[in-house]
Chains A and B, each alone.
Chain A
């Protein structure tokens, strides 16, 4: 991989001339509009590395706040060889791409069974992922024409979940856990994954996915599930993962045939 262009490139921001380093920022300071306030805005910009800083706009927002727009030359450099990014280990797909992949790859609808297990009545998470209403401006899995969603809601017992997954011939089981008192989320999840392992031959078991704000995303093996999703997960993350594992059959567990 010994090359060239991208590696080790040193850059400055670009306004209208190479190397001019010009940037534009806007922010609010919690103080009334005055000369001092404008000076304070320039000072903040200087500390951000913008020098000279041009406070081009200052506007009072009520008696206690002022909004600023600042232009100026930033003295920082960026070195592209020093950039590190965390890559998702599967591609993020649009609903259209997910539907198409399922239609082509599975030639039937992908079946997802979901719910909150144990005494947890917080369906916020599972509903955000499954309900058509969705989350963060993204529609839930119900919106995907090629995904059949069976949302069992709150306080589903593990045997009930297993029975329904078998009945629906689920490709994937999604479980959401919000309540973490006395590690309930971890114990419930382990109980759930054990029950699925008991009730299915290893190569037929549905994909097990667990989600909730307090889960550690690297704990999948320990919990006996295929994937853990944490805070901020959107329906597209989950849908893309389902396609990645169920349609493209990217090898994962040693047992998967």
Chain B
């Protein structure tokens, strides 16, 4: 009895036998680092959060110059009464006063300058709030309906019969070219289709409108493009008898709005990282954290799986030296995600196969890192990303690297596998590249089968030691973040370059003008409903 009890306990500690005390400590440090950021996010709002609220209330479309009506309306409100009270009270006050019959008309009139917005008091305030709550609430109910619809379709068509799920990227710039490519990719075996965005969309402070046919190295994320692609994949899901998931990007300056559009159009996964925009796009840290929290609340409600962007740390720094920055980022992403209401099954925490293949034992190191992520986050659908940095024009060597990447993915029980292309860094994937890449994945998955069952790294061997070392270094980094003097250690750490090589001060970066401290009496019906959950 005693032996089997011990065995069970050891099994509960997983293959790496991580010390639960150490794991708890890592989580608790991440919580301490994250909490002041959440407080900060609660105290501020942004133009994009307010525009997302208008989108949830059903305001769509753009003016003749292509500027969305949500931008025009919000700009008018801000010009009259500022951002600090939120957009809802002044807008629905104007509607209740009878300035216009609906939001679209109000937006048109406001941008023509014929409406004065104000912050009402007393009964007028109560009435404006009630009207806003009703209309925004309808939008959130629509998101709920879309989430139920997904559940129904997954039940009808079924999930893939294998793990990891196979994730393929399409990106032509033209939504009408993307659609047949995405459908073909699904027929060839993709379980998840990701449509890469046009370069530079993350720095646009508005969401483009309508179906788009030109992008740079990707296709614009718009509500109409979302709708068209989801409808096409619904068709393909029916044809194939399995539910094909659709992924896009809720990042950059408009992440709350894009999250809302994703919920309204039943996207299934969204790239959504807590610090990516700050570190890699130089977006203002406060703007990012406020937008992040709101967008994650929407994703939580919409049943969307988020994908975080830890792969980026490894493409800019050495993948062995920086291994612990991945773990720290995963822990922070987990804390911020759960605080925003996301559940374990929605946390597609990322990591990547980016160790220099010329390094001795590089494969063992990769196994150690991948297994560490698996064991630290046993219930999260981890996203495993292929080599990019060490892919050269040598496609034959690249194909071999991708096979080892696939093997780590199967062996360590990753959930989402982004298919690596041997022509990475050469061309955008050809039809044959994609076919060969999928053959590679299928061969490895089929040949390795449940090899994971037999795979137990020696308790004090190289892999277990390495995993423990990375975890220890993660704890050190978190402690270094918390050692910053001010109350917002993480913000200061980002400011002085503790994270990666980039110094991102809290008062710098793009999008700072779109941030406001909430005034007393700030009201946002969307936040109210999302937080109440």
> Which residues from chain A sit less than 8 Å from chain B, CB to CB?
26-28, 59, 61-62, 65, 67, 122-124, 127-128, 131-133, 136-137, 139, 142-143, 145, 151, 153-154
- What would be 6 A-B contacts, judged by CB atoms less than 8 Å apart? A61-B431, A62-B188, A65-B431, A132-B501, A133-B280, A137-B389
Q: Is the CB of B425 within 8 A of A137?
A: yes
> Counting CB contacts under 8 A, is B97 at the interface?
no
A127-B388 CB under 8 A given contacts A28-B430, A65-B431 = no
B184 within 8 A of A: yes
Report B432-446 residues with CB < 8 Å from chain A CB. 432, 435-436
Query: Given A26-B432, A139-B315, 8 other A-B contacts at CB below 8 A?
Result: A61-B188, A122-B200, A123-B203, A131-B282, A132-B501, A142-B502, A151-B282, A154-B203
Closest to B425 in A: A137
Q: Which residues of B sit under 8 angstroms from A137, Cβ to Cβ?
A: 388-389, 391, 424-425
CA A153 to CA B282, docked complex, whole Å: 10
Verify A67–B435 contact, CB threshold 8 A. Answer: yes
Known: A28-B430, A131-B281, A133-B280. A61 touches B203 (CB 8 A): no
Assuming the contacts A132-B501, A132-B502, A143-B501, asked whether A61 and B199 have C-beta atoms less than 8 A apart, the reply is no
- In the complex, A154 Cα to B216 Cα: how many Å? 17
Set of chain B residues within 8 Å of A151, measured between Cβ atoms: 282
CA distance A54 to B501 in the complex (A): 52
Nearest residue, chain B, Cβ from A65:
B431
| Distance of A57 from chain B, by nearest CB (Å) | 11
Given contacts A28-B430, A127-B203, contact A62 B187 (CB under 8 A): yes
Q: Are A132 and B431 in contact (CB under 8 A)?
A: no
B126 within 8 A of A: no
Question: Is B279 part of the contact surface with A, judged by Cβ < 8 Å?
Answer: yes
The CA-CA distance from A28 to B432 in the complex, in Å, is 7
Q: Bound complex: CA of A154 vs CA of B203, how far in Å?
A: 10
Instruction: Decide: A132 and B316 in contact? CB cutoff 8 A.
Output: yes
**A63 CB to closest chain B CB, in angstroms?**
9
- Contact (A61, B282) CB under 8 Å given A122-B200, A123-B203, A127-B200: no
Chain A residue nearest to B436 in the complex (CB):
A67
Q: How far, in angstroms, from A27 to B431 measured CA to CA in the complex?
A: 10
Cβ of B293 under 8 Å from chain A = no
In the bound complex, residues from chain A placing their C-beta under 8 Å from that of B281 are 131, 133
Contact B501 A123 (CB under 8 A): no
A26 CA to B396 CA, complexed, in Å: 12
Q: Complex Cα distance A133/B389, Å?
A: 12
Q: Which residue of B lies closest to A154 (CB)?
A: B203
For the complex, what is the distance from the CA of A26 to the CA of B432, rounded to whole Å?
9
Closest Cβ of chain A: how far from B390's Cβ, in Å?
10
With A61-B432, A62-B187, A145-B501 as known contacts, state yes or no: A132 contacts B279, CB within 8 Å.
Answer: yes
Q: Please, which residues of chain A bring their CB within 8 A of the CB of B389?
A: 137
- Rounded to whole angstroms, the CA-CA distance of A122 and B279 in the bound complex is 21
Within 8 A of A (CB), among B474-512: 500-502, 510
Query: Of all chain A residues, which has the CB nearest B438?
Result: A61
CB atoms of A123 and B316 under 8 A apart? no
Contact A132 B200 (CB under 8 A): no
A-chain residues with CB within 8 Å of residue B388 when the two chains form the complex: 137
A143 near B316 (CB under 8 angstroms)? Answer: yes
Which of chain A's residues have a CB closer than 8 A to the CB of B430?
28
Closest Cβ of chain A to B271, distance in Å, is 14
Q: By the criterion CB–CB under 8 Å, are B316 and A61 in contact? A: no
- Across the interface, which residues of B come within 8 angstroms of A154, CB to CB? 203
B280–A131 CB distance below 8 A: yes
Nearest 5 pairs of A and B residues by beta carbon: A124-B200, A61-B435, A137-B425, A67-B432, A133-B280
A164 → chain B closest CB, angstroms: 14
The interface residues of chain B lying within 8 Å CB-to-CB of A127 are 199-200, 203
Q: How far is the CB of B70 from chain A (nearest CB, A)?
A: 18
| CA–CA, A30 and B263, complex, Å | 38
Residue of B nearest to A121 (CB): B204
Contact partner of A124 among B188, B216, B279, CB < 8 A?
B216
Report Cα–Cα, A20/B203, bound state, in Å. 55
Chain A residues with Cβ under 8 A from B282's Cβ? 131, 142, 151
Inside 8 A of B436's CB, which chain A residues have their CB? 67
B191-206 vs A, Cβ < 8 Å mask (1 yes, 0 no): 0000000011001000
Contacts of B315 in A (CB 8 A): 139
- Complex Cα–Cα for A136 and B184 (A): 26
Q: How far is the CB of A113 from chain B (nearest CB, A)?
A: 14
| Centre residue among B199, B388, B425, B502 by max chain A CB count within 10 A | B199
Q: Are A153 and B510 in contact (CB under 8 A)?
A: yes
Contacts of B391 in A (CB 8 A): 137
Chain B residues near A27: list those with CB within 8 A. Answer: 432
The CB with the most chain A CB atoms within 10 A, among B184, B187, B216, B282, is that of B282
B431 CB contact (under 8 Å) in A28, A122, A123, A153: A28
Q: How many Å lie between the Cα of A123 and that of B282 in the bound state?
A: 13
Which residues of B have CB within 8 Å of A59?
435
Interface string of B336-357 (1 = CB under 8 A from A): 0000000000000000000000
Report how far A153 CA is from B253 CA in the complex, Å: 14
Within 8 A of A (CB), among B241-299: 279-282
